[in-house]
Structure 1
């Protein structure tokens, strides 16, 4: 492993505290794993001369594990996790996310940033519509879990941007958000472990940026219990119409910001 530099650890810690505060709050409110925040922040603030988005996506996925853990724990305590939906989704999610994360070693950063922006725009549109829960159809979730996992691994996100809209068609919003958080935790952790076990290129990338990443991950983990806990309680007490309006606004803003970042990267 590369030598650890104290200055980069401190710098990473500051970045991680800010990212964890924002990402944890968004995770508790929307069920996303924080990757929509982490990827842009790692891309903007991580000292890197590497081409492509692979290291930023990997760093985000590790942060997603921590974010999803605290968010899922809070939602589980509040009774927001639908167990049957979770088990229907997990096999496809884990395998798909592992393949998506591996794909970041090959794809240019422009298309990844454009893809995340497009995804946010679609989610903002979906939150503007009303979905009524209906009888569960496990096969429908299983069919979509693989593609959702792949996109999540490719973009370094927890999958909530797609899982929550999907789950809203089967359960109420609060259960959709809690179930999404639990799925994101298992999916991201599985994708990371599979990639580290099967792809040696990750060792070199992590060795180059270990000091910054150590500080950033520590900062995120330190702030997450506070950020995700209070936002999950806020989610539990807020009206659904208000939540939909707030989340729609957040995703529109993210879509615009990531579009700008994509074109500035060219």
Structure 2
């Protein structure tokens, strides 16, 4: 099958890449997530990517998307730079641990456990409304806690392919008392070195459609700043409700994978 007839190339495919990128970029800026939970399933369903190549392509597209998001949040002072670096270092280490543990741990049990975690987070988002004036107080203890969160995030990413923003944003808000905007900006900064590291490995194993990643990434960059701007004008309580709705979708996706895995 040549490039002209492949479902991953041609006018229809590029149009789909653009639409996916626009949608993923908006969600990335609005929620401080990478957008992989949107990109991967759409690539698989609409363009028949296999799961591994879809994940690799998504991770590559996240790099420019997250960079634009960081710039947008940094413009309003909503990025905790040092905590983001600590989280990123922990996540890179944790991802290596997760990939090594992958053959030894039940994927079904992990997915149901993550669904349970999301249910607790969703309920908490309706009870704890972050203050926009809250600042991140970095101490030795909070720094150590960030390392633990980063490693845990990386392990889950390596085990079940969950993006860091889905974990880091609610944890920073609920456990560290960070404002929702700082949590999102910090999450996006944390993703960049993690995504670059993962993309280098995926390129070596040819798990990236470079052209698709470029089109999706560039398209996403055009709406990421819009999403970040919307996050600043939305009331924090309403922002929590929107984020909770997004997490419900993620939990439903993970539950469906767990059910399918158990059936197999």
TM range (shorter): 0.7 to 0.9
Structure 1, residues 174-197: CA drift from partner, whole Å, max 9, x if none? Answer: 11110101101121112332x258
Aligned to 1:71: 69
Task: Say whether residues 1:164 and 2:169 are aligned partners.
Answer: yes
TM-score by length of 2: 0.78
TM-score by length of 1: 0.78
Contact 1:12–1:214 at 8 Å: present in 2 too?
no
Task: Say whether residues 1:189 and 2:192 are aligned partners.
Answer: no
Structure 1, residues 110-136: CA drift from partner, whole Å, max 9, x if none? Answer: 778767756654543342231665744
Aligned to 1:9: 9
Structure 1, gaps ≥5 residues long: none
Contact 1:16–1:215 at 8 Å: present in 2 too?
no
Farther-moved stretch of structure 1 (119-128 vs 101-110): 101-110
Farther-moved stretch of structure 1 (130-139 vs 153-162): 130-139
Q: Distance in 2 between matches of 1:6 and 1:34?
A: 28
Give the drift of 1:235. Answer: 0.8
- Tell me the SS of whatever aligns to 2:9: helix
Farther-moved stretch of structure 1 (236-245 vs 103-112): 103-112
Contact 2:153–2:168 at 8 Å: present in 1 too?
yes
CA change 1:262–1:39 in 2 (3 A) is farther
Q: Work out the number of aligned pairs and report it.
A: 250
- Tell me the SS of whatever aligns to 1:188: helix
CA change 1:116–1:44 in 2 (3 A) is farther
- Tell me the SS of whatever aligns to 1:24: helix
Q: Distance in 2 between matches of 1:218 and 1:38?
A: 13
CA change 1:4–1:215 in 2 (3 A) is farther
Q: Distance in 2 between matches of 1:230 and 1:64?
A: 16
CA change 1:72–1:259 in 2 (3 A) is same
Structure 2, gaps ≥5 residues long: none
Q: Distance in 2 between matches of 1:222 and 1:147?
A: 30
Structure 1, residues 10-32: CA drift from partner, whole Å, max 9, x if none? Answer: 34423322221221111111101
